[in-house]
A and B are shown apart, each in its own frame.
Chain A
Amino acid sequence: MSMLRRLGRPAPHRKAVAAIALAGLAVLAGCGGSSGGSGGSTDDATPKAGGELKVSFFPDNANFSCIDPFQVYWIEHRTIVRNFADSLTDQDPDTGEIVPWLASKWEISPDGLNYTFTLRDGVTFSNGNKVDAQVVADDVKGWLATVAATNGTAYGASYIQGLTGATVVDPLTVKLTLSQPNASFLQATSTTNLAITDPAEYQLLPADRCTGKGVIGSGQFVLDHYTAKVETVITKRTGYAWASKLVKNQGDAYLEKVTFTYVAEDSVRIGNLTSGAIDVSWPRNPITPQDEKLIEASGQTVEKRALPGVSYTQFANTTEGRPLSDPQVRQALYKAVDLKTYAKTVFGDDYPVVAGPFDSTTPFYSAQASKLAYDPDGAKKLLDAAGWKVGSDGFRAKDGKQLVLDYPVTQFSAGPELLQAQLKVVGINLALRTLTPAQTATYVKDGDYDLTQTYFTRADPGALQFILNPDVANSKALANRSATPAVTEQIKALFKKAIQTTDAAQTKQAYADLQALLIDQGVTFPLFERVQEAGVSKDVHGFAFTSESFLRLNDVWKS
Chain B
Amino acid sequence: MVLALVLPVAILWSATVGVTGSLGWGDTWRGVLAACGWGEPLNGTRQTIVELRLWRALTTAGVGGALALSGAYVQGLFRNGLAAPSILGVTSGASLGAVIAILLLAGYGPSLLLTEDLGRATYVIPLFGAVGAIGAVSIVVALGSPGGRVSVPTLLLTGIAVNTCIGGVLSLISWLVLADWDVSRSILSWTFGTLDDRTAAHALTVWGGLAIAAAAAPFVAWELDLVQTGERDARALGVATTRVRVIVVIASSLAAASAVAVAGQIAFVGLVVPHMVRLTGTTSHRRLLPASLLGGALFLVLLDTVQVLALGAAALQPGVVMSLVGGPLFLLLLLRQRQQLEEA
Q: Are A and B genuine complex partners?
A: no
